[in-house]
């Protein structure tokens, strides 16, 4: 199911806000932080764009890397949706 671009944008904005708030309390020089930011960048993309990026990653870094990133991005998007669901309209 494809989401409307406005829903995708709200998800992306929520992920961006989450990363910004985490930046204040995390060591942003670590490998773990870079990995979290990579997942966030992928999670903020619309479905088609995400598929293209993950395909490129699979080609250059392997299927396992792409699969792990896809799963992490999906989890991050789900978390953002739950945050949005709790916000008043």
* Beta carbons of 37 and 65 less than 8 angstroms apart: no
The answer to whether the predicted template modeling score (pTM) of the entire model surpasses 0.85 is: yes
Residues 6+ apart with CB under 8 A from 62: none
Encoded tokens for 29: 């020089």
Calculate the dihedral angle through the C-alpha atoms of 71, 8, 33, 22, rounding to the nearest 10 degrees. -130
User: pLDDT per residue over 43-80, tens digit each?
Assistant: 999 999 999 999 999 999 999 999 999 999 999 999 99
Residue 29 within any structural domain of the chain = yes
Task: Please state the domain count of the chain.
Answer: 1
Residue 78 within any structural domain of the chain = yes
User: pLDDT per residue over 26-46, tens digit each?
Assistant: 999 999 999 999 999 999 999
Which residue segment(s) compose the domain that 41 sits in?
9-86
Give the model's pLDDT for residue 3.
55
Going by C-alpha positions, the residue among 1, 14, 5, 2 that lies closest to residue 81 is 14
Residue 3 within any structural domain of the chain = no
């Amino acid at each position: 199911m494809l989401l409307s671009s406005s829903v995708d944008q709200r998800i992306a904005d929520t992920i961006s806000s989450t990363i910004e708030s985490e930046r204040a309390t995390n060591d942003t020089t670590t490998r773990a932080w870079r990995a979290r930011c990579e997942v966030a960048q992928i999670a903020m993309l619309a479905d088609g764009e995400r598929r293209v990026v993950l395909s490129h990653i699979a080609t250059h870094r392997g299927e396992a890397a792409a699969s792990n990133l896809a799963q992490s991005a999906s989890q991050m998007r789900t978390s953002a949706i739950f945050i949005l669901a709790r916000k008043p309209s």
